[in-house]
Structure 1
Amino acid sequence: MLTAQQKEELRHAILEYLYARPMLAFAPAAIGRMCYRRGLVEFEPSEEQAREALEFLRGLQLVERIRDPLGGSVCYQITTAGQLARERGEV
């Protein structure tokens, strides 16, 4: 269970990670793992914790969910609104 502060840190880390890769979409598990490995968070989030953070960001229209049309895989990518908010220092 993440604390409110850890949830906030994870959201910021995810945006930072996706901002650096705007043309790519990633699975929640990969995003959480890479945020930890790159030192963007001090804890390794579970796939579910990463998904919850991504869905929160999706609700703010900062990331989008992309479903593979040939299967059930779901990936996430930063939106142009997310890129702009990050560049303006709004998030």
Structure 2
Amino acid sequence: MIPKSRLTYYPRNLIITRPEGLYLSGFTTDKKQQILDFTQRVSLFLEQHQLKIDGDIWELLWQDEVFTTEKELQVFEVMIPIKPVSH
């Protein structure tokens, strides 16, 4: 999140605002098995808590090519907008 005091440093058309709401969040790397495990854990959590995905999933890169040139070692935060399943 960019502090309001620094918003003027960036072109307005390049700033994306994440919608307010409830998000399920977790971390993963770009390794295929970790992504599969993460997806299974999220699916199970949603089912157990009677939740469903409610919008676009956000992915934030916490470690980029400055930290490692190995893509599989980069760490991502995945934020999934959720809401209760309607009965």
Which of the two has higher C-alpha Rg?
2
**TM-score over 0.5 for the pair:** no
With structure 1 as the length reference, what TM-score do the two structures score?
0.29
More helix by share: 1
With structure 2 as the length reference, what TM-score do the two structures score?
0.30
Higher relative contact order (CA 8 A, sep 6+): 2
More strand by share: 2
